[in-house]
Structure 1
Amino acid sequence: MEDKPLDQLQDEHWDMEQAVADEILDDIAYYRTLMVNVIFIGEPDSKNWVLIDCGIGHYAQRIIEAAEKRFGSNPPAAIILTHGHFDHVGSAKKLAQHWDVPIYAHAKEMEYLTGERSYPVGDSTIGGGLFTILSPFFPTTPPNLKKWVHPLPEDGTVPFLEKWRYIHTPGHTPGHVSFFRDSDRTLISGDAFITVKQESSLAVFIQHQHVHGPPSYFTHNWTDAERSVKKLAALNPKTAVTGHGLPMSGEDLQHQLSELALNFKELAIPKHHYH
């Protein structure tokens, strides 16, 4: 019952979709799994690549197909999660089993990934749009990934990605993280900020591109969420790949992200959450 709306959307989307990742940079590609992006870090045919996030459930085979088209038979060195919401971890267990690889996430996200604690139910009263209305029915029961999941190192380094560092960006979830490569200012923001109005099914369908705050129906600490956006805006990223929406780069990204950081209360926080 809870998954029915997503299953219906997935069935309509399934036949239209090709399991091919879109390349953004030489070593970064993304694949959209209905409502969320999974990200491949590594050049084509690399034997040392990493998967960021795992999409909703039932997408494991499609992600495997996209990975094989880019990397051949080489499995990833690891799966790394920005956070544990159902749309980012739905296929994690099947992928970890298939590839026999470890999963990493922030220490503060562990209890949501080991079956110990559930996220709050989605708030259907904020943001408007179909996905907001459906959000109370989105799964919040935690997956049990105890066999595979490990906490990220405390020093900010990212396993198997020497040029990257992770940044703790809580707010959307307690252990949410983003990833940044200083050499070319490439940012993988997860849901700390996104580039589509995720609450609206129409915006998601047409992928209207604009920097937005985190999905409001699943964000429960707006003070931390604002701090996290300001932290990421201060990095002045050149390219950003987000959990939802199309990648952005250049002046449009920098201007819109700065505007969001400066006016987060007005642009992102639902009015009844104002303090």
Structure 2
Amino acid sequence: MSYGSDYKYIPTTSIGSGIGIELLPDLYCYTIQIVNIVLVGKPETNEFVLVDAGMPESANKIISVVEGRFKKNSRPRAIILTHGHFDHVGAVIELVEYWKIPVYAHELELPYLTGQKSYPKPDPSVEGGIVAKLSPMFPNESIDLGTNIHLLPSDGSVPHMPGFRWIHTPGHTPGHVSLFRENDRSLIVGDAFVTVKQEYLYKVITQEKEMSGPPRYLTTDWKAAKQSVEKLEALKPSVAVTGHGAPMEGNELSSNLKMLVEKFDQMAVPNYGKFVDNDRLH
């Protein structure tokens, strides 16, 4: 297993870093610098999974969080990846080596997780603030998980996450998925939409809560991104854990998500940038 040659620690953080939130007895969100990991499973059962794998060089922190939430020497049954960007797979190799567990992702994401294909380089020209301008420093090369990476089941189920199903939500990446549980309408979003303006350093640092589309500097297909948000809003989620920003629930979630769907072109799609369609989706 190996990371890309551009793999490195990114010295960016927020006031939310190090804070964990229990949204439900079996749904726990924890912020690693500027990105969220999710632990799904009740602590008393010790049957749980990890959704996404944090920032580069965060493995020790994630192991500590897991053992604090569950018990010493606990290990998840699997790691589920919403997608393969550097801030969602940052510690995955160290975690797989330590826990000896499988990783699951969508078929269209596999080339980026098996050393076959790198993501397009982030777009510093996209409309946004300092984070967008600094985005070329972010790793984009493929990592290689070798035989440890597995396809999510074609029937839509999620391994070791009973009641959840995966939903293909492309746009931010080709194989991006979100995870949804029908019985309580819990949604683990990944970066299909986020609750912080990820392009602006001040908002990233302060974690000012604000419904937003996927991070602009890494989103390559805005038409698909819009359709993915529409798909998720139609589920009428009651609680949503996003890849970046604080979780949302209840009326705050439903009203903001409805507004994002209705005004996606204005709220989410940048006015300029190399991945923006000339026809502005119309």
TM-score band by shorter chain is over 0.9
1:55-70 matches, within 5 Å, as: 55-70=54-69
Q: Secondary structure at the match of 2:88?
A: helix
TM-score by length of 2: 0.91
Alignment-derived partner of residue 187 in structure 1: 187
Q: Given that residues 45 and 74 in structure 1 are in contact (C-alpha distance below 8 angstroms), is that contact kept between their aligned partners in structure 2?
A: no
Q: For the aligned residues, what is the CA RMSD?
A: 1.8
Percent of matched pairs sharing the same residue:
45
Contact 1:36–1:243 (Cα < 8 Å) also in 2: yes
Q: Please give the per-residue CA displacement for 1:132-191, whole angstroms capped at 9, x wherever unaligned.
A: 011112101111111311010111100011110010000000000000001111100000
Residue 131 of structure 1 deviates from its aligned partner by: 1.1
Instruction: Report the Cα distance in structure 2 between the residues aligned to 1:84 and 1:78, rounded to whole angstroms.
Output: 16
* Partner-residue secondary structure (3-state), 1:213: coil
- State how far apart, in whole Å, the 2-side matches of 1:246 and 1:261 are: 19
1:32 paired residue number = 31
Rounded Cα–Cα distance in structure 2 between residues aligned with 1:118 and 1:7: 19
Relative to structure 1, the CA distance from residue 17 to residue 221 in structure 2 (aligned partners, 3 Å threshold; closer, same or farther) is: closer
Pairing of 1:1-275 with structure 2 (within 5 A): 7-9=10-12, 18=18, 21-72=20-71, 73-272=73-272, 273=276, 274-275=278-279
Runs of 4+ in 1 over 6 A off after TM superposition: 1-4
Would the aligned equivalents of 2:10 and 2:138 in 1 still touch at CA under 8 Å?
Answer: no
Deviation at 1:237, TM superposition (A): 0.7
Pick closer, same or farther for the CA change 1:3–1:115 going to 2, 3 Å: closer
How many residue pairs get aligned? The number is 270
Deviation at 1:74, TM superposition (A): 2.2
Contact 2:49–2:80 (CA under 8 A) maintained in structure 1: yes
Structure with more helix by fraction = 1
CA distance in 2, matches of 1:156, 1:28: 20
Cα distance, 1:47 vs structure 2: 2.4
Cα distance in structure 1, aligned partners of 2:17 and 2:205: 13
Deviation at 1:51, TM superposition (A): 0.2
CA distance in 2, matches of 1:17, 1:61: 15
Distance 2:263 2:10 in 1: 36
Q: CA deviation at 1:21?
A: 3.2
2:120 is paired with a residue whose SS is coil
CA change 1:29–1:131 in 2 (3 A) is: same
Q: 5+ unaligned residues in a row in structure 2: which ranges? A: none
SS in 2 for 1:89: coil
Aligned counterparts of 1:114 and 1:48: Cα–Cα separation in 2: 28
Give the direction of change, closer, same or farther, for the CA distance of 1:54–1:125 in structure 2 (3 Å limit): same
Mapped to 2, the partners of 1:17 and 1:126 lie a distance apart of 26
Q: Which amino acid aligns with 2:237?
A: P
Corresponding letter in the other structure for 2:212: H
* Whole-angstrom CA distance in 2 between matches of 1:194 and 1:203: 12
**Aligned equivalents of 1:234, 1:244: Cα separation in 2:** 21
Cα contact 1:45–1:70 (8 A) shared by 2: no
Comparing both chains, which one has the higher relative contact order based on Cα–Cα distances under 8 Å and sequence gaps of 6 or more?
A: 2
Question: What amino acid does structure 2 have at the position aligned with 1:88?
Answer: H
Cα distance in 1 for residues equivalent to 2:88 and 2:63: 15
CA distance in 2, matches of 1:238, 1:218: 27
Which blocks of at least 5 consecutive residues in structure 1 are unaligned?
none
User: What secondary structure sits across from 1:158 in the alignment?
Assistant: coil
Distance 2:99 2:141 in 1: 24
